[in-house]
Amino acid sequence: MAGRPKLILASGSPRRLALLEQAGIAPDFLQPAEIDETPQRHELPRNLANRLSRTKAEVALRTARRDPDKEGAFILTADTVVAVGRRILPKTEFLDEAEGSLHLLSGRAHRVYTSICLVNPQGHIRQRIIESRVRFKRLSAAEISAYLASGEWRGKAGGYAIQGLAGTFVAKLVGSYSNVVGLPLFETVTLLSGEGFPVLQGWLHPVA
């Protein structure tokens, strides 16, 4: 991307990539930062999201510094945590985890925290945490069974994807929708712009 600083998205999430592209931002590199995401003992959901996004940023920065093509690039990371009270729900990989999460969320309110972390070209780290509140309708056994059969729950925090079939479960949402998907657009664009990344350049097209 000649003419603007380079951007590394340190995430393997296709949802985060799609949201960035929705905002007219095309990362130059996709560089997932693989870390242990296990919550620490008594760790609060907000603290977990902040710790993971910052750790991903630090790992991605060390990796980028070994690659001359990535010198001076911005690095963006994010981590999303779903919680009922202080209880952190897993990123579900197994059917029983997803089923347990859906039963817990049925008819109840929960919170979705996404921490975004940006490393600027000077290596300084900026971080924001965004919270959305979501309430599910009471789910029938048939709805839970059908959703589990869909497979959409795999790898999703809290066992669901709001941008998919589970959007029909949401009775109320307070806060950022894109935050629940996995990347709060308003805060992400504000953070990038504030650090000097030319977000609007991606909105411009040459006149034919």
| The token pair that represents 146 in the structure block | 């059908």
CB count in 10 Å sphere of residue 130: 22
Query: Is residue 79 flagged as an active site residue?
Result: yes
All residues at 6 or more sequence positions from 135 whose CB lies less than 8 Å from its CB, including other chains: 108, 109, 110, 170, 171, 172, 173
Q: Within 10 A of 99 (CB to CB), how many other CB atoms are there?
A: 17
Q: 28, 36, 67, 79: which is the annotated catalytic residue?
A: 79
Half-sphere exposure of 128 (CA within 13 A, CB side): 17
28 in Cβ contact with 73 (< 8 Å): yes
Residues labelled as active-site residues: 79
